[in-house]
Amino acid sequence: MKEKITEYINSKFSDVLLPQRDINTNLLYFSIQKEALPTVVQTLKDHPEFSFNYLNDLTSIDWLGKREPRFEMIYLLRSPKNKHFRLQLRVPVGEGEEVPSLAGIFPAANWPEREVYDLMGIPFSSHPQMERLIMPDNFVGHPLRKDYPLEGPGQDYLIEDLLTIHVSEDITG
């Protein structure tokens, strides 16, 4: 299976493939340009032989000071048809750049993309509801970035806001 997928992706998407880094993994992976992400994912999902129709996970990495561009999105696709064969797609993302959303292809990508946006600050274009998921709306910054201060940037105002909100809810509720 590994050879078939590799041959297929190398022939069909050679123009969007990026050079592979030597990483220690037992997963088949490909680094691709972010603009091609929806096309590659949709093709792998619809391909009758491969059927990567399960988005297992998506996350991001902050390579601050180690690699350029700074961020990398990681997508793990599974093919239940092929004994749950796994394929990883890696998409480099620069500071302030958007990544195409996969929520239209995999509805389950909605909340994980919002989580990445909230905690890492990577926005997704064409996302149906690109807003914070975990942190309060008035939270400053993105706490999973490597340059985020451990003590926080002085979030005392949040506590006051939360107390006011909860006291108001208790009185009116």
Helix or strand run (H / E) with residue 61? strand 54-62
Q: How high is the pLDDT of residue 151?
A: 74
Q: How far apart are the C-alpha atoms of 93 and 115, rounded to whole Å?
A: 16
- Whether the Cβ atoms of residue 73 and residue 122 lie closer than 8 Å to each other: yes
> 4 by DSSP, 3-state: which?
helix
Q: Report the mean per-residue pLDDT for the chain.
A: 90
Parallel, antiparallel or unpaired: strands 85-93 and 71-79: antiparallel
> Looking at the predicted structure, is the pLDDT value of residue 30 above 90?
yes
What percentage of the chain has pLDDT greater than the value 70?
88
pLDDT tens for 102-155 read 999 999 999 999 999 999 999 999 999 999 999 988 888 999 999 998 777 665
> Looking at the predicted structure, is the pLDDT value of residue 158 above 60?
no
pLDDT tens for 123-132 read 999 999 999 9
- Read off the pLDDT of each residue in 65-77 and give the average, rounded to a whole number: 96
Burial of residue 7 (number of CB atoms within 10 Å: 0-12, 13-18, 19+): exposed
Taking alpha carbons only, the member of 164, 32, 16 closest to residue 90 is 32
Could you write out the DSSP letters of every residue in 76-109?
A: EEEEGGGTTEEEEEEEEE-TT--EE--TTT-GGG
> Looking at the predicted structure, is the pLDDT value of residue 165 above 80?
no
- Domain residue extents for the chain: 1-165
- Whether the Cβ atoms of residue 92 and residue 18 lie closer than 8 Å to each other: yes
**Count of CB atoms situated within 10 Å of the CB of 52:** 27
Residue range 1-165 forms a domain whose CATH class is: alpha beta
